[in-house]
Amino acid sequence: MQNNKVSIKNFITPGIPLAILLVMSCFALWVITYFGGHFVTVSMQNNSVVVFLQSILIPNTILSGLTAISFTLLNAFLVAQLNNRFTLIRSRTFLPIFIFVLLLGVWNETHLVNGSHLALTIFIIALFFTFNMFHNRNASEEAFMGSFLISVSSLFINPLIFLIPVFWIGFIMLQSFSLRTLIASLLGTVTPWILTFSGQYLIYSKIDFASVFSIQMNLDFNLYTFTLVNSIYIASMAIILIICLAGMFSNYSRDAIHTRNKLNFIFLLLIAILILSIIFENQFSSFLPIIALLFSFLISHPFTLKQNNFFSIVFIIFCVLNISFVLIKFINI
């Protein structure tokens, strides 16, 4: 009897032509959602840095869209380098790149938030410094630069400043927490804000804290604000994430200790970002590029390393779900 095995090997390790085709397919979805998603609006923010950026790259313009695509390509390259540099997935795989680009193509809200794409670029570079701290309690330079970059990204998305304590927990996970790294992190955190307010004083002869740091908390989160299509999509993605996390944790014994610690930290960051996106609901779209990054790593791990029928089918369902989501939203316009 023939064994009918479902394989996604061509997605995991595609040749160059297929890899290009997969990326181009994701950008085809991007174009569909961009021109079909004119109903998406950007929440106005009082943050002067974001206002200045939006005055240059006006949302819903071709220039803004092309800039977002350029940032996505850059960040996809950084995703590949992050995985290769720190062996987050112990086998050669294209999936983190494919899933990352796919999600940003499907989530049309991300097409308008160039500040968030820039913040994501800075965030990924911060992860490079943080992951380099593994098992080094004297890594003050890496602690300073990692926290410095997170603080810089918070100039574009203010609530990201609350990730600094999460990174301290990450120091503990990476066995690099010490008084030296804590002090270096604190100095790195305050430096961008000191430079920002100093520049503001030199230019305007005054310091307006509220114009740079402006957040609006929303503790009245209501699921009924989501449409039925969005609710089904979010629930389905949550189920896929839970299944993949179960697969990842069940395969942990084969991963090196440093890989496990880094993946645990990525999982912690995803939880923290999701909490922030709920608390600061008015900036939900701003968090989506970072969510796509963390999500892509966590689900790519079991899809790559557990090549059986079950996870191959889950991967196919994941792809069909996202394509269907785009088509349904586009048809409903």
* 302 CB-contact burial (10 Å; exposed 0-12 / middle 13-18 / buried 19+): buried
- The closest alpha carbon to 157, from 324, 316, 282, 318, belongs to 282
CB 143, CB 181: distance < 8 Å: yes
Rounded CA-CA distance 40/18 in Å is 32
Report DSSP state, residue 283. Answer: G
Rounded CA-CA distance 60/52 in Å is 16
Dihedral Cα 109, 112, 113, 114, nearest 10 deg: 140
Question: Which pLDDT value is given to residue 30?
Answer: 86
Question: Which pLDDT value is given to residue 46?
Answer: 60
Residue count of the chain: 333
Q: Which residue has the tokens 């790559």?
A: 304
Domain layout of the chain by residue ranges:
9-331
Rounded CA-CA distance 163/272 in Å is 7
CB 163, CB 146: distance < 8 Å: no
- Per-residue model confidence as pLDDT tens for the chain (333 residues): 455 778 899 999 999 999 999 999 998 888 888 776 544 555 555 666 766 676 676 666 777 778 888 999 999 999 999 999 998 998 889 999 999 999 999 998 888 788 889 999 999 999 999 999 999 999 999 999 999 999 999 988 999 999 999 999 999 999 999 999 999 999 999 999 999 888 887 877 777 776 677 777 776 666 667 788 888 999 999 999 999 999 999 988 888 889 999 999 999 999 999 999 989 888 888 899 999 999 999 999 999 998 889 999 999 999 999 999 988 877 654
Rounded CA-CA distance 156/34 in Å is 22
Rounded CA-CA distance 37/33 in Å is 5
| Tokens representing residue 287 in the block | 């968090």
Those residues whose C-beta lies under 8 Å from the C-beta of residue 35, and which sit 6 or more positions away, are none
